[in-house]
């Protein structure tokens, strides 16, 4: 009996003697990790947290870049009664209507290129071209294309300055935006198609599926993650990457017809020297992008 109990007691004694050592090692590792993370945390605080806090403070002031006068939360109330603010938000919302086209067109191109149609290597380079060109250059080309007596005007024969009319300027900007996203999204979808198991498609055709049924039931579900990635990137671009296009093509006009929230921040701060209001618009844009980020996380974590 003693022979059976003694080894158990000894193992428990050894475990109790090793427990403080393990606790000390665990504590040392945590302290080491904390010390090593201090530089990164300091950078995040200095370049992210503090600027955000400052922006929130200045958004509730009347600040001309030199002196500031505290207004308080009523600054937001005043902004929400500004018709230009709502027009700018409407422009952002209308640009979101271009997102499905910025996804569907590259998806169709990627499917055709994946099938290796005649000249597919040449067309792959052509469709990738917008990705390799600066958005400023794209804006300059688009400005000339949509201008009065430009190529589009000559083709249609309407003698219209598409960028000078409030009814067509935003549409011209949206078309340019869709074209600029074709290369990036096509590459994303081609990457997804490259990982597709062709035997599944072949099995679908053997079972009598049509080309559309194979695409909708096999190819598209496989590309779900890639579609989500392209969707998030396109939406983010629509909110925060159109400054160059707007600056070169329209300057935000006519009026506010092509002004987005991103460009509105620039106009208010650097053209009107109302940096406090510009900070407020920046906070609004930050909240909008935070919502997009939350949606992105939910999409990634789904299934």
Q: Tell me: do 153 and 22 sit in the same domain.
A: no
For residue 188, give its domain range: 77-301
Q: Which residues contact 218 (CB under 8 A, 6 or more apart)?
A: 196, 200, 201, 204, 209
Mean pLDDT of 184-206: 81
Q: Tens of pLDDT along 239-257?
A: 888 999 999 999 988 889 9
- Lowest-pLDDT range of 78-87, 207-216, 250-259, 274-283: 207-216
Mean residue pLDDT of the chain comes to: 83
Same domain, 42 and 83: no
173 and 49 share one domain: no
- 76-110 confidence digits (pLDDT tens): 888 888 899 999 999 999 998 999 999 999 998 88
* Res. 259 pLDDT band, cuts 50 70 90: very high
Structural contact between residues 180 and 106, judged by C-beta atoms closer than 8 angstroms: no
What pTM was computed for the model? 0.80
Residue 303, pLDDT score: 56
Considering the domain boundaries, does residue 72 fall inside one? Answer: no
Residue 281's nearest CA partner among 15, 146, 79, 92 is 79
Together in a domain, 137 and 38:
no
Q: Are residues 87 and 211 in the same domain?
A: yes
């Amino acid at each position: 009996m003693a022979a059976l109990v003694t080894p158990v007691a000894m193992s428990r004694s050894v475990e109790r003697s090793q427990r403080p050592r393990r606790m000390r090692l665990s504590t040392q590792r945590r302290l080491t990790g904390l010390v090593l993370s201090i530089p990164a945390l300091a950078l995040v605080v200095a370049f992210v947290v503090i600027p955000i806090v400052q922006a929130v403070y200045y958004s509730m002031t009347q600040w001309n870049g030199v002196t500031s006068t505290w207004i308080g939360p009523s600054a937001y109330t005043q902004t929400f009664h500004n018709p230009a603010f709502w027009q700018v938000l409407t422009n952002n919302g209308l640009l979101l209507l271009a997102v499905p086209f910025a996804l569907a067109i590259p998806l169709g191109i990627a499917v055709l290129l994946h099938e290796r149609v005649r000249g597919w290597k040449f067309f792959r380079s052509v469709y990738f071209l917008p990705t390799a060109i600066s958005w400023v250059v794209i804006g300059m080309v688009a400005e000339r294309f949509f201008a009065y007596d430009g190529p589009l005007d000559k083709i249609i024969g309407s003698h219209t300055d598409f960028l000078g009319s409030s009814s067509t300027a935003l549409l011209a900007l949206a078309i340019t935006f869709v074209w600029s996203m074709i290369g990036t999204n096509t590459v994303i979808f081609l990457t997804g198609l490259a990982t597709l198991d062709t035997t599944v498609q072949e099995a679908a055709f053997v079972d009598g599926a049509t080309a559309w049924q194979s695409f909708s039931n096999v190819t598209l579900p496989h590309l779900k993650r890639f579609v989500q990635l392209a969707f998030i990137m396109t939406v983010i671009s629509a909110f925060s990457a159109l400054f160059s296009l707007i600056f070169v093509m329209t300057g935000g006009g006519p009026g506010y017809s092509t002004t987005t929230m991103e460009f509105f921040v620039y106009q208010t701060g650097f053209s009107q020297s109302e940096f406090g209001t510009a900070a407020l618009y920046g906070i609004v844009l930050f909240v909008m992008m935070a919502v997009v980020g939350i949606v992105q996380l939910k999409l990634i974590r789904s299934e």
